[in-house]
Amino acid sequence: MSPRPLRLTRLHVFAALFVLLGLALLWWAPGAFEADTISRLNFGLGRDAPGWGAPTRLTLQVIGGLYLASGLLALVNRWPRVSLAALVLSGLLIFPAVLIGAAAGKQTNVLTMLAESLRLATPIVIGATAGIWAERTGIINIAIEGMMLAGACFGFTSLFFLEPIMPGATNLVLLISVLVAVVFGGLMALLHAWLSIRFNVNQVVSGTVINILAIGLTSFVRREWLLSTRAGRITLPNIAIPGLVDIPVIGDVLFNNKPIFYMMFVLLILTHVILFYTPFGLRMRAVGEHPEAADTVGVNVFFMRYLNTTISGMIAGLGGAWFSLETVGGFDDVMTGGRGFIALAAMIFGKWTPFGAFGGGLLFGFADALGTRFQILNVPVPPQWLQMLPFLTTMVVLAGLVGRATAPAAEGIPYEKQ
């Protein structure tokens, strides 16, 4: 047996990175923190909230050691399964490590941090769910961003014009506005479907068209009609779910939120059930993997693709409403800020499954929330660096995972019937 060439695999790159990171932590922690510095992590508000005081330096050193160990283990390349698990485990420890480092000598509420992550994950998870609907039937949807933007803009436009007409009926107006956002997201998606199904336009190009169009259209609409002193600043109301909200510790965090936040969970469950347990979902998956096979048993490939892409856009429109109607109460140019693209990364991370995408979305939500948390804790890091975090996370995650995630086989390939 001849010696195999030493080929640099992704695993090795990551392992080397982890070794370096571990060494850096081990070297940096003793210099940066006194031995008796404590990072206090609270679970809840107030003085009596349960919490855990972690000795900053020791914890960071332990985590650094874990990094070093798992990296070395992977480099040795003996027990692939064990070392992969170790890598993933220590990879996840980056978050507590950063948090503990940031909270040195102070205290921080882990629970609100998690709640904030979930909240910031909402548009990403909804966007990823939207992506799943289109991509499972074989239509690449890089236009989630544009569809969200359209939803955000037109949802707010509806609020802006209806509010003076229907005074007093704020909740009804908000409901209508969310529906308008959903419809406009769907319309953009319909255009995407039309271009890519009817005209076989490359789906990445078609998606880019939608994104450009959405930017132009929404800033035009804002400039022409929405500039006014009459700023709405109304947002969707909090809804406390009776009973559940009284659960200690997590009740208030999870069950006293805004409607689109809840919708995220509804959509996740619904998408999962439809995709894997209904005839419609079976057909969706078949169309995305092998459209000819679906066609020969009488499944209408074009119809499925139009329908699902439109549904995808409607979901993205709802995600757009999260920005303008649930969070800000207004519309700014390009307010989605790349969350639609991050959603795609979350979808790929989750291997095109709803709950996987939820995990991915949570990861990015956490990276986002970390930024805010740093500012609260007064960590002397430029805010721009923190704003880079979600984007950097996306790149690292994609580099680490995309090769192992397989997209639906027929994705991006126009279906041609003779």
Partner 1 sequence: MAEITAETHQSQPRQPSPGRMPRNWSEIGSRLVPGLAVVTAMIFGAVFMVAAATDWAAARAAFSADGVGGFISEVRPGIGRAGIAYGALFEGAAGLGYVNPSSIRAETFYVTLLPLGERSLVFIPRNLIDTIVRTIPFILAGLAVALGFKCGLFNIGAEGQLYAGGLLAALIGFHPAFRGLPSLIHIPLAVAAGIAGGLLWGAIPGFLKARTGAHEVINTIMMNYIAIRLADWLIKSREPVIMLDTTASVPRTPFVAQSAMYPYLANTSLHFGLFVALAAVWLVWWFLYRTTLGFEIRTVGANPSAARYAGMSVSRSVVLAMALSGGLAGLAGAGEVLGVQHNLSPGFFAGVGFDSIAIALLAKTNPFAVVPAALLWGGLINGAGLMQVRADLSIDVVKIIQAFIVMFIAADQIVRALWRIRARRRGEEVVFARGWS
Partner 2 sequence: MAEPAATPAAEPVLEVIGITKRFPGVLANNDIHFTLTRGQIHCMLGENGAGKTTLMNIIYGLYQPDAGEIRMNGRPVMIHSANDAIRLGIGMVHQHFMLVPQLTVTENIILGNEVTQGPFLDRRKAAAQILALSERFGLEIDPEARVGELPVGARQRVEIVKALYRQASILILDEPTAVLTPQEAEDLFKVMHALVEQGVSIVFITHKLKEVLAVADQITVLRNGEVAGVVAPEEASEASLAALMVGRAVILQVEKAAAHPGEPVLSVEELRVTDERGHTAVNGISFEARAGEILGVAGVQGNGQTELVRAITGLMHPLSGRILIAGQDVSTATPRQITELGVAHIPEDREADGLVKPYPVVDNIILNSYYRPPFARGIVMNEAEAVKQATEVVERFDVRTPSIYAEVGTLSGGNKQKIIAGREFSRPIKLLVAAQPTRGLDVGSIEFIHKQIVAQRDQGVAVLLVSAELDEIMALSDRIAVMYRGQIIDVLPAAQADRETLGLLMAGVHPAQD
* 166 binds partner 1, rule: CB under 8 A: no
Q: How far is the CB of 127 from partner 1 (least distance, A)?
A: 13
Cβ closer to partner 1: 53 or 403? 403
Q: Are 42 and 51 in contact (CB under 8 A)?
A: yes
* 88 binds partner 1, rule: CB under 8 A: no
| Residue 48 contacts which entry, partner 1, partner 2, none (Cβ below 5-8 A, type-dependent) | none
Q: How far is the CB of 282 from partner 2 (least distance, A)?
A: 6
Buried b (16+ CB within 10 A) or exposed e, 395-411: eebeebbeeeeebbebb
x-or-dash pattern for partner 1, window 130-149, by CB under 8 A? ----------x-x-------
* 202 binds partner 1, rule: CB under 8 A: yes
Give, in degrees to the nearest 5, the angle at Cα 31 between 27 and 37.
115
Which of the stretches 3-11, 21-29, 109-117, 365-373 binds partner 2 when contact is defined by CB under 8 A?
A: 3-11
* 200 binds partner 2, rule: CB under 8 A: no
Q: Which of 193, 204, 205, 197 lies closest to 417, judged by CA?
A: 197
Q: How far is the CB of 417 from partner 2 (least distance, A)?
A: 8
Q: How far is the CB of 273 from partner 1 (least distance, A)?
A: 25
Task: Enter the DSSP assignment of 404.
Answer: G
- Pull the structure tokens for residue 377: 């804790």
Cβ neighbours, 10 Å, residue 380: 5
Which of the stretches 27-35, 73-81, 302-310, 379-387 binds partner 1 when contact is defined by CB under 8 A?
A: 379-387
Cα(310)–Cα(308) distance, integer angstroms:
5
395 alpha-carbon distance from chain centroid: 13
* 253 binds partner 1, rule: CB under 8 A: no
The answer for residues whose C-beta is within 8 angstroms of residue 35's C-beta and 6 or more apart is 55, 57, 58
x-or-dash pattern for partner 2, window 374-413, by CB under 8 A? -----------------------------------x----
Buried b (16+ CB within 10 A) or exposed e, 341-366: bbbbbbbbbbbbbbebbbebbbbbbb
Footprint of partner 2 on 125-144 (CB under 8 A): none
Site residues, partner 1 (CB under 8 A): 10, 13, 140, 142, 195, 199-206, 208-209, 211-213, 215-217, 219-220, 223-225, 337-338, 341, 344-345, 348, 382, 384-385, 387-388, 391-392, 394-395, 398-400, 402-403, 406-407, 411-414
